[in-house]
Amino acid sequence: MTTPHTSVTGNLRVPAPFNESPRDFAPGSLEATRVLKEIDRVRGQVRELPHVIDGERLPLAARTNVVAPHDHGHVLGHFSPAGEREVTAAIEAALRARPTWSRTPWWDRTAIFLRAADLVTGKYRDELLATTMLGQSKTFHQAEIDINELADFFRYNASFAAQIYDTQPQSVPGAWNQMDHRPLEGFVLAITPFNFTAIAGNLPSTPALMGNVVVWKPSEKSALSSEVVMRVFEEAGLPPGVINLVHGSGADVTAVAQQSPHLAGITFTGSTAVFRQLWKSTAANIDRYRSYPRLVGETGGKNAVIAHASADPEALVTALVRGAFEYQGQKCSAASRTYIPRSLWASVEAPLVETTANLRVGDVTQHETFVGAVIDGASVRRLEQAIERGKALDSHQLLVGGRTRSEEGWFVDPTIFQTTDPHAITMSEEFFGPLLSVYVYEDDEWDRTLRLVDQTSDYALCCSVFAGDRRAISQALDVLRDAGGMTYVNDKPTGASIGQQSFGGSRGSGTNDKTGSPLALQRWITGRFIKETFSPAHDWTYPYMGQRG
């Protein structure tokens, strides 16, 4: 492979990034009509979803169905689970691409992903929306903000990369100091979740933007939209082998990747339990690696909304409904537990329960739907068990919901428990579904309640504080400093915007590498310091030594 070169000179500046504006999709609008037409087109096909290795699409062997969660009898596509042969081929393809890609000028790499952003919001926008709605059961709005976020990642990451490359050490007369922001030596394994097409595209593209080569294992549940994202990469000009897509079991793909001495890093979004296992298995293989693999993980959350007596009750109800039940609670940032003072609960309970009871659950292609299906039957069974555990506790009262059904789609009604036990499982364990638990505290126990929020759960992803009293806000921000990587004041805990609120949590919620900021990109580079001396010394002695002779 030849080393790339360019005739471009000058200190190049990337275009200023911006957040893509979501469309409204009002019934009968042009955008709604277009997307519904695209949904019909996608629904009328059974797509082949092959591995893409070194730019080649491998024929399918054994077939696994991809279905619509809200209509699980409808097959949308097929993929073949990767075995050792396919994963090894993907690793080898990535390593072949590395010498050229790692030396490609950063502005050329950046241009590819800026073009990808325009393809996402242009040519492929409706197809990405339709495949996300059908394959992941997202409503018009939830799918739209997901796809927009993918474009936001590409644009803002380009700007962040330019900032990083512009960071150079100070030089002194007679010497020139330089920092070479090198990509990691080897390949990066990207394991992406089902719940965000944006994350599925961002995790492999961020290391690639910084000059790394990638093996990408998307969730089997998002295989439909991931195939479209891969086509976007290719049409944007990404060379073969830079990102290699393999479908199948995360455990199977990881087992092969961790045997390679060239594993340079793993970027992961998913459950805390799986990430901890990844950490352990990587450590168990540490002696075989040429370098210490970088591990980046964004995992679970048990996100709290805590209200002070001075909070706006209407704003609180809106935040709880949206924060807990949008996308069926299948966001790591979803509101899952809330602490409300007794004086405020009197004006919050009825509208919260009534609004939740009236949320439309069903087919996401219908405009009236607010809550779609959970991702699969296993999720229904897991959430059923959680609901039954709550019902069995004397400390719990079921306020609304609790119903599940799986005949045509995998549906779980938005469910709210009220508990008198702030340490109960519903206040501490992540359920990753439309379940919200309420603890009503006495108004004079604000201090104690803040400590409960901090100490009850193993997670530290998101917190929301609702208050009108500035002293209460300041106190909450202080006590909850380590309880969340994201703290919102008078807003729901979901919906972080790229370039505005960089995302990530600590404790059991991950490595807090702040997706949507330069910090996330820095994990995928390793510095080389270069000093060039213009007038080298010719005398080995120092003045303190006096004259030689």
- Does a structural domain hold residue 523? no
Q: Report whether 146 contacts 202 (CB < 8 A).
A: no
- Does a structural domain hold residue 357? yes
Cα 479 from Cα 319, distance rounded (Å): 22
Residue 196 shares a structural domain with residue 90: yes
Q: Is the pLDDT of residue 353 over 90?
A: yes
Residue 239 shares a structural domain with residue 371: no
Q: Is the pLDDT of residue 9 over 90?
A: no
185 catalytically annotated: no
Higher pLDDT among residues 61 and 258, named by residue: 258
Residue 236 shares a structural domain with residue 316: no
- Last residue within a domain, chosen from 252, 269, 299: 299
Cα 179 from Cα 166, distance rounded (Å): 9
Q: What is the pLDDT of residue 11?
A: 81
Q: Quick one: average pLDDT of 88-93?
A: 99
Q: Where are the alpha helices (DSSP H) in 373-441?
A: 377-391, 425-428
Q: Quick one: average pLDDT of 293-309?
A: 97
Q: Which domain holds residue 406?
A: 303-489
Ramachandran region of residue 264, left (φ > 0), alpha (ψ -120 to 50) or beta? alpha
Which CATH number goes with the domain that contains 276? Answer: 3.40.605.10
Residue 47 shares a structural domain with residue 181: yes
Residue 85 shares a structural domain with residue 185: yes
Residues forming beta bridges with residue 436, ordered by sequence position: 416
In terms of DSSP bridges, do strands 411-412 and 459-460 run parallel, antiparallel, or are they unpaired? unpaired
- With vertex at residue 330, the alpha carbon angle to CA 252 and CA 432, rounded to the nearest 5 degrees, is 80
Tens-digit pLDDT profile for residues 95-114: 999 999 999 999 999 999 99
Q: What is the pLDDT of residue 254?
A: 97
- Does a structural domain hold residue 537? no
- Closest-CA residue to 333 (of 462, 456, 427): 462
Q: Report whether 224 contacts 134 (CB < 8 A).
A: yes
Q: Report whether 466 contacts 449 (CB < 8 A).
A: no
**Banded model confidence at residue 549, pLDDT cuts 50, 70, 90:** low
Residue 161 shares a structural domain with residue 294: yes
Q: Is the pLDDT of residue 406 over 60?
A: yes
Residue 58 shares a structural domain with residue 189: yes
Ramachandran region of residue 19, left (φ > 0), alpha (ψ -120 to 50) or beta? beta
Q: Quick one: average pLDDT of 32-39?
A: 98
Quote the pTM value: 0.95
Residues forming beta bridges with residue 217, ordered by sequence position: 191
Tens-digit pLDDT profile for residues 453-473: 999 999 999 999 999 999 999
Work out the mean pLDDT of the chain and round it to a whole number. 96
Residue 316 shares a structural domain with residue 216: no
Q: Is the pLDDT of residue 57 over 70?
A: yes
Q: Is the pLDDT of residue 154 over 70?
A: yes
Place of tokens 């169905």: 65
Tokens standing for 467? 């208050």
Residue 201 shares a structural domain with residue 179: yes
Query: Residue 455: is it exposed, middle or buried by C-beta count within 10 angstroms (0-12/13-18/19+)?
Result: exposed
- Does a structural domain hold residue 473? yes
**DSSP SS3 for 181:** strand
Q: Is the pLDDT of residue 139 over 50?
A: yes
Q: Quick one: average pLDDT of 63-72?
A: 97
Q: What is the pLDDT of residue 2?
A: 52
Residue 315 shares a structural domain with residue 271: no
Give the total number of structural domains in the chain: 2
- Last residue within a domain, chosen from 299, 329, 350: 299
- Does a structural domain hold residue 497? no
Q: What is the pLDDT of residue 1?
A: 44
- Does a structural domain hold residue 286? yes
The active-site residue, picked from 298, 326, 349, 430, is 298
Helix axes 223-235, 125-136, angle to 10 degrees: 160
- Does a structural domain hold residue 511? no
Q: What is the pLDDT of residue 3?
A: 53
Tens-digit pLDDT profile for residues 186-206: 999 999 999 999 999 999 999
**Banded model confidence at residue 344, pLDDT cuts 50, 70, 90:** very high
Q: What is the pLDDT of residue 465?
A: 98
In terms of DSSP bridges, do strands 435-441 and 335-341 run parallel, antiparallel, or are they unpaired? parallel
Tokens standing for 465? 């504080």
- Does a structural domain hold residue 180? yes
Which CATH number goes with the domain that contains 367? Answer: 3.40.309.10
Tens-digit pLDDT profile for residues 243-291: 999 999 999 999 999 999 999 999 999 999 999 999 999 999 999 999 9
Residue 318 shares a structural domain with residue 455: yes
Q: Quick one: average pLDDT of 385-413?
A: 97
Tens-digit pLDDT profile for residues 469-487: 999 999 999 999 999 999 9
Residue 81 shares a structural domain with residue 167: yes
Tokens standing for 503? 């995302």
- Last residue within a domain, chosen from 489, 515, 540: 489
